[in-house]
Chain A
């Protein structure tokens, strides 16, 4: 055997073992549970029962889509603005975007409760002015806000990465050829930042659509997302592992299909985007 290839394999082996134990094996277990009944006999009943949860699927996709759209609209100008600054300011802003990601996202979500609660920061302030209280917590808006807040760095970073690599003279060339600011955006910046957008959309949409914690803490128990549904069944005990696995499997397949379509739409611009 080629010595170098053997060396490479040796270096990669801890990760291969890790992925096998913690990714591949659980996936097999999940598929096994989704296709069997409580006695371990093969059945498609779990999958065909999925229709019962179409409302949760629908709401999850809707919320995740809205949250992704909002993140994109907020992050795009932010990323562009960052590339316009001098290097030291760019680094600083980059850090400001990154720092929240170093904190546990459960804690970050929890902090929103203290801001949005009926006796929270905003309502306390409003009552001082003789206004309110506003109903902020336990609303769909709060859930979407949580998603946007938690996942926006994953949108900013790939966009920033693509835009900062963009040759500035391309925008000058567009202007030179008669484009005003909007035309420059539409005909050059937007198409060339597509790989970054696709990475960003993926990295925000996927965790949003499968989240359960955000909806529980900020949405009360009123909005049952698909992640909540899975968690709910899972907590009921081993009897419900089969249905929980089936929902997970379907969700996973749906996400993979979405990713596939998205990457197709993005054309063949492999460079620039960071798909993690």
Chain B
């Protein structure tokens, strides 16, 4: 059965004090999906969430819920609930009363509230902490109370505003799994806001990459990673070497002074393009066997692999490899056709994907260390 759109944003623009925060945003959110709004701070992702919650009205454009326009419907009448960035638990109420808040406001009978709160506590593994004051809970427990409090109201859509940002790495990973489990268990649509690309990739059915109030790309995590639409997306999601290239014909591209087979087509012959090669897709070989030749300028050991910077005709590439190399080594690079991704030129071309500043930074740091007596 085809799933229906539960939330639709139609041509939405919002400006604060003359500054454009959202610029002609269009987005359909499918019932039951886990969708993530991903972007740097100031990209408009939280604003988008607040529009759906009802804390903010668009200057132009419509917000639709189950096909009906809900512009002007106040937040308390909308069938959505929010998990706030710093949880916003009520400090004057204990855990039980926090979770019961929405049900009490709706004047549900006491027996139903009791049953529901117990069910929620079980769902988030907090059974036994009913009487605790929220400020005696750990960050992770507060997070769970916030989840329980929101879900107790049976929202059709749950909005999550960077809910894991305040947790430490280990706890964040656990909560990611748990949130995903809860979402699958309850079948509620989750709209999740984050600036953490890894979080977005691991949790989401679909990812919406945003920048400067506009959607840059919408797709599955695999689409976003493997087929970024422009240099911004390629750079924001993972690491990318982005070089200028020229499409000679379908499946054939020239960059860094060499010609390569690739899997992309549909460009005009001779069209200027951005070429993306992920650092983990490059093999380091003997200089004479390489398709490109260069000199290693810096090496960093990251545990799983080495991150090395290779200077190829003045452009610095990042390569991730499990083999050890040393600064000053001459190396060859071997790139498979399926490791090459071609993008049309965009406003972001030339801004990202060169690691020269990165390597300089490392050089600079190591210089500084050497100067120490």
Confirm or deny: A28 has a beta carbon within 8 angstroms of a beta carbon on chain B: no
Q: Do A179 and B105 touch (CB < 8 A)?
A: yes
Q: Do B75 and A167 touch (CB < 8 A)?
A: no
- Chain B 224-264, CB-CB to A under 8 Å as 1, else 0, gives 00000000000000000000000000000000000000000
Closest residue to A190 on the B side, CB-wise? B92
Q: Do A177 and B102 touch (CB < 8 A)?
A: yes
Confirm or deny: B293 has a beta carbon within 8 angstroms of a beta carbon on chain A: no
Quick one: which of A154-193 are within 8 Å of B by CB?
Answer: 167, 169-170, 172-180, 183, 187-188, 191-192
Measured between C-beta atoms, what is the minimum distance from B143 to chain A in Å? 14
Q: Do A192 and B91 touch (CB < 8 A)?
A: yes
**CB contact under 8 A between A173 and B88, given known A178-B76, A178-B153, A179-B76:** yes
**Set A170, A172, A187: member contacting B105, Cβ < 8 A:** A187
Confirm or deny: B82 has a beta carbon within 8 angstroms of a beta carbon on chain A: yes
Confirm or deny: B45 has a beta carbon within 8 angstroms of a beta carbon on chain A: no
Quick one: which of B85-107 are within 8 Å of A by CB?
Answer: 85-86, 88-92, 101-102, 104-106
Bound together, the chains give a CA A170 to CA B84 distance in angstroms of 9
Confirm or deny: B348 has a beta carbon within 8 angstroms of a beta carbon on chain A: no
Q: Do B105 and A176 touch (CB < 8 A)?
A: no
Confirm or deny: B74 has a beta carbon within 8 angstroms of a beta carbon on chain A: yes
Q: Which A residues are in CB contact (< 8 Å) with B101?
A: 174, 177, 187
- Chain B 111-126, CB-CB to A under 8 Å as 1, else 0, gives 0000000000000000
Q: Do A173 and B84 touch (CB < 8 A)?
A: yes
Bound together, the chains give a CA A159 to CA B10 distance in angstroms of 42
Q: Which A residues are in CB contact (< 8 Å) with B74?
A: 175, 180
Measured between C-beta atoms, what is the minimum distance from A34 to chain B in Å? 42
Q: Do B90 and A176 touch (CB < 8 A)?
A: no
Bound together, the chains give a CA A188 to CA B86 distance in angstroms of 17
Q: Do A176 and B86 touch (CB < 8 A)?
A: no
- Chain A 21-48, CB-CB to B under 8 Å as 1, else 0, gives 0000000000000000000000000000
**Chain B: interface size category:** 20 to 34
**CB contact under 8 A between A176 and B91, given known A169-B86, A187-B101, A187-B105:** no
Measured between C-beta atoms, what is the minimum distance from B49 to chain A in Å? 11
Confirm or deny: B206 has a beta carbon within 8 angstroms of a beta carbon on chain A: no
Q: Do A172 and B84 touch (CB < 8 A)?
A: yes
Give the most central of B55, B76, B82, B84: most A CB within 10 Å: B76
Q: Which A residues are in CB contact (< 8 Å) with B53?
A: 176
Confirm or deny: B149 has a beta carbon within 8 angstroms of a beta carbon on chain A: yes
Q: Do B81 and A176 touch (CB < 8 A)?
A: yes
Q: Which A residues are in CB contact (< 8 Å) with B150?
A: 176-177
Measured between C-beta atoms, what is the minimum distance from A269 to chain B in Å? 8
**Set A173, A180, A183, A269: member contacting B82, Cβ < 8 A:** A173
Q: Do A177 and B92 touch (CB < 8 A)?
A: no
Q: Do B55 and A172 touch (CB < 8 A)?
A: yes
Give the most central of A173, A183, A191, A192: most B CB within 10 Å: A173
Q: Do B149 and A177 touch (CB < 8 A)?
A: yes
Q: Do B84 and A177 touch (CB < 8 A)?
A: no
Q: Which A residues are in CB contact (< 8 Å) with B105?
A: 174, 177-179, 183, 187
Closest residue to A186 on the B side, CB-wise? B105
Q: Do B82 and A192 touch (CB < 8 A)?
A: no
Q: Do B92 and A176 touch (CB < 8 A)?
A: no
Bound together, the chains give a CA A117 to CA B157 distance in angstroms of 64
Bound together, the chains give a CA A191 to CA B93 distance in angstroms of 10
Bound together, the chains give a CA A172 to CA B101 distance in angstroms of 13
Measured between C-beta atoms, what is the minimum distance from B287 to chain A in Å? 58
Give the most central of A175, A177, A178: most B CB within 10 Å: A177
**Set A170, A177, A188: member contacting B81, Cβ < 8 A:** A177
Q: Which A residues are in CB contact (< 8 Å) with B84?
A: 169, 172-173
**Set B55, B85, B89, B106: member contacting A178, Cβ < 8 A:** B106
Closest residue to B55 on the A side, CB-wise? A172
Measured between C-beta atoms, what is the minimum distance from B18 to chain A in Å? 15
Measured between C-beta atoms, what is the minimum distance from A175 to chain B in Å? 5
Closest residue to B79 on the A side, CB-wise? A178
Bound together, the chains give a CA A174 to CA B97 distance in angstroms of 12
Q: Do B75 and A172 touch (CB < 8 A)?
A: yes
Q: Do B55 and A170 touch (CB < 8 A)?
A: no
Q: Do A188 and B76 touch (CB < 8 A)?
A: no
Q: Do B92 and A191 touch (CB < 8 A)?
A: yes
Q: Do B86 and A175 touch (CB < 8 A)?
A: no
**CB contact under 8 A between A192 and B92, given known A175-B74, A176-B76, A187-B105:** yes
Bound together, the chains give a CA A178 to CA B155 distance in angstroms of 11
Q: Which B residues are in CB contact (< 8 Å) with A174?
A: 90, 101, 105
Q: Do A169 and B76 touch (CB < 8 A)?
A: no
Quick one: which of A135-170 are within 8 Å of B by CB?
Answer: 167, 169-170
Q: Which B residues are in CB contact (< 8 Å) with A188?
A: 90
Q: Do A177 and B153 touch (CB < 8 A)?
A: yes
Closest residue to A269 on the B side, CB-wise? B92
Q: Which A residues are in CB contact (< 8 Å) with B80?
A: 176
Q: Which B residues are in CB contact (< 8 Å) with A191?
A: 92
Bound together, the chains give a CA A188 to CA B89 distance in angstroms of 11
Binding site for A on B (CB under 8 A): 53, 55, 74-76, 80-82, 84-86, 88-92, 101-102, 104-106, 149-150, 153
In the complex, 18 of the A-B residue pairs with CB atoms within 8 angstroms, ordered by the A residue number, are A167-B88, A169-B84, A172-B55, A175-B55, A175-B75, A176-B53, A176-B75, A176-B76, A176-B81, A177-B102, A177-B149, A177-B153, A178-B102, A178-B105, A178-B106, A178-B153, A179-B76, A179-B105
Nearest first, the 10 closest Cβ-Cβ pairs linking A and B are A177-B102, A169-B88, A173-B88, A178-B105, A175-B75, A191-B92, A176-B82, A169-B84, A175-B76, A178-B76
Given contacts A173-B89, A175-B74, A177-B153, 16 further A-B contacts (CB under 8 A): A169-B88, A172-B75, A172-B88, A173-B84, A173-B90, A174-B90, A174-B105, A175-B75, A176-B53, A176-B81, A176-B150, A177-B101, A177-B105, A178-B105, A180-B74, A183-B105
